[in-house]
Structure 1
Amino acid sequence: MGSVSSPTKQKQIYLSFCGRDPAARTNISNWIERYDPSTNYWDRITEIPGLLPNEIRKCFAMVSLADSIFIIGGLKCSKVILQEPDGIALLPLQVLTCVLRFNITTKTWTHCSPLSNARFDFACSVIDGKIFVAGGQSRIGFARGISSAEFYDPIKDEWKPMPAMNATRYKCAGVTLQGKFHVFGGFAQRVDGQTSSGPFTMDRSSGEVYNAEDETWTFESRMWELDVPPYQIVAIGLKLFSPGDCLKAWKGHFEVYDEKLRIWEAVDGSHLQPFSSPVTPYGDWPPIEHKYLTIAPIGTQLYLLTGYRTPGEIPRLTSAVHMFDTSEDGNGWTSFEPVCEEGEKEICCHCCVVDN
């Protein structure tokens, strides 16, 4: 009797959203959605627990390990209804240390050991089965980051301290490259009091690299080269890719980082305008309103997941996915059939990729 091979696991993308409905009766608290690239299918998986109606968790990190998603830290906010049309404001309530784990197989949530330091808008990445976090903000209404860092061991369910970075940082991007934790940009200020000068040595254009073997941070003065923090950075193989900065999440193309030259360059063939207004007999519609954007690396492919408000008499939110193949023999961009949403929503953190 022949052996039966186990089914091949498919990589799927998980995202966290909250609603934008201004109606008092509508709960807009966080939920998790899953996108299947093999079928271009979206489905709503679960709600994030621990929130009262109309409480929202934002600016947290969501990463995957094995068959689980981890929700780490963040900022708890409450929905406030304004008088103006579509008026919603978010009132910050608390900076969180809470860490949650969602098992995608059993569909169950569990509480993990909390962070040692409450933080939001921080850098986060996974190395060798452990979760590393650094920087962020720990206080509401205080425009300064923190330099502390820590890592999580899921086997022991405990957070362990790491040496502090050389600069306080928030809205920084974290990514793993060659087994090291890279932290890019952010609103940064050197801890040692040194001041930077010149267009390419500003603290906000710097970065830091953590080597777990000798437990040291190396300060790099030209890792980002912009005064504006990065929006998102992901790794494919030995290359880092970015879609834009926190003021313009999509620059119209991907940029790739040359680690030797420490420069970001536009990727050939990656130019794409995913938001285009339709042409009518009376002229163009007003510009499409971008609502959310995030990118996910799968193999040699970069998935750009975006939502935008479709213009017209009754504006509707449309979710669309575009895939760019970064390999030398790739076919460039592939766009998938968009999905018209029933209501407004916004993304609350960057997505993560999980083997299902």
Structure 2
Amino acid sequence: MTLRGGEWKTLPALPVARGEHVSVTAAGKIYVIGGRVGETPNAAHYKDHRDTSRVDVFDPNTQTWSRGTDAPTARNSAASAVIGDKIYVVGGRQYLEQPNGDAANVNVASLEVFNTKTGLWSRKAPMPKAAGGIAATALDGRLYVFGGEQWTPTKEVFASGWVYDPSADAWESLPDMKTPRHGAAAGGIAGRIFVFGGATETGAGDVAVNEVLAVQP
């Protein structure tokens, strides 16, 4: 079916302006989780923002926002996917002051799961390697995570792939992507994982690469 004549409409704005957050659809609602929010009236610079664990929930039927249960970890540039009635939030980074007094984005490896039926968060086994700016998707009841970058202690872009099995609360490594990148997007369908676009340099280097991984049953 081809949709024509669509029209964008303005709906109630986010309760708090933010960026570098994640959003997913679960249980008929849209969850906006984490990211960075302004700490000053103008918040003109990156340092004027802080990482947040805030969760806001949008109900498309009533077109209203409600406050969700805060996530355990405040972070930006994480990734998220839904498996069943649970929301998985993984990786990302935190803007933290370093021993020399400067601030830097430090990667986190934590995996946290929100149960939409109970309204509770739980912590699960962390990623084997902390990474921010990752791509994630779910397929056949498992969580897949790819790529990412780090800013400190060295600047790197990753080609790594990982799969998480909720039934075992365990991670396994996957073959590296052909192209290391961060800021990409991923999707899974019919036994295959696709990873689109991204950037090949820390903070830069956009590419149009599209790579696919056939998943073994």
Q: TM-score range by the shorter chain?
A: 0.7 to 0.9
Q: CA deviation at 1:154?
A: 1.0
* Partner residue of 2:182 out of 229, 235, 248: 229
Please tell me the residue identity of whatever aligns with 1:105.
N
Unpaired runs of at least 5, structure 1: 1-9, 11-36, 82-87, 190-201, 261-356
Q: Percent identity?
A: 22
Q: CA deviation at 1:90?
A: 5.5
1:208 maps to which residue?
162
Q: CA deviation at 1:219?
A: 2.7
8 Å CA contact 1:240, 1:256 repeated in 2:
yes
* Partner residue of 1:181 out of 120, 143, 150: 143
2:100 maps to which residue?
none
Q: CA deviation at 1:68?
A: 0.9
Of structures 1 and 2, the larger Rg is shown by 1
Q: CA deviation at 1:249?
A: 5.2
Q: Which runs of 4+ in 1 moved over 6 A?
A: none
- The separation in 1 between residues aligned to 2:106 and 2:178, in whole angstroms, is 20
Please tell me the residue identity of whatever aligns with 1:139.
Y
Please tell me the residue identity of whatever aligns with 1:232.
A
8 Å CA contact 1:173, 1:183 repeated in 2:
yes
Cα 1:249–1:226 change in 2 (3 A) is: closer
1:115 aligns with 2:76: no
8 Å CA contact 1:72, 1:97 repeated in 2:
yes
Q: CA deviation at 1:233?
A: 0.9
**Deviation per CA, 1:263-299, whole angstroms, max 9, x where unpaired?**
xxxxxxxxxxxxxxxxxxxxxxxxxxxxxxxxxxxxx
- TM-score, normalised with respect to structure 2: 0.80
2:56 maps to which residue?
100
- The separation in 2 between residues aligned to 1:105 and 1:135, in whole angstroms, is 31
- The separation in 1 between residues aligned to 2:212 and 2:180, in whole angstroms, is 18
2:202 maps to which residue?
none
Aligned residues: 200
* Partner residue of 1:128 out of 84, 94, 104: 84
Unpaired runs of at least 5, structure 2: 97-102, 200-204
* Partner residue of 2:198 out of 245, 250, 260: 245
**Deviation per CA, 1:249-269, whole angstroms, max 9, x where unpaired?**
534xx4332346xxxxxxxxx
The residue matched to 1:256 in structure 2 has which SS?
A: strand
1:172 aligns with 2:134: yes
- The separation in 2 between residues aligned to 1:237 and 1:47, in whole angstroms, is 36
Using CA pairs under 8 Å that are at least 6 residues apart, name the structure with larger relative contact order, 1 or 2: 1
Q: CA deviation at 1:40?
A: 4.5
- The separation in 1 between residues aligned to 2:119 and 2:3, in whole angstroms, is 34
Cα 1:47–1:66 change in 2 (3 A) is: same
2:15 maps to which residue?
50
Please tell me the residue identity of whatever aligns with 2:147.
G
- The separation in 2 between residues aligned to 1:69 and 1:115, in whole angstroms, is 15
2:123 maps to which residue?
161
* Partner residue of 2:107 out of 142, 145, 170: 145
Please tell me the residue identity of whatever aligns with 2:121.
W
Q: CA deviation at 1:184?
A: 0.6
- The separation in 2 between residues aligned to 1:179 and 1:114, in whole angstroms, is 25
Cα 1:59–1:40 change in 2 (3 A) is: farther
- The separation in 1 between residues aligned to 2:126 and 2:45, in whole angstroms, is 34
2:26 maps to which residue?
65
1:347 maps to which residue?
none
8 Å CA contact 1:167, 1:188 repeated in 2:
no
Q: CA deviation at 1:123?
A: 1.6
- TM-score, normalised with respect to structure 1: 0.51
2:3 maps to which residue?
38
* Partner residue of 1:217 out of 167, 171, 182: 171
Q: CA deviation at 1:188?
A: 5.6
- The separation in 2 between residues aligned to 1:207 and 1:188, in whole angstroms, is 15
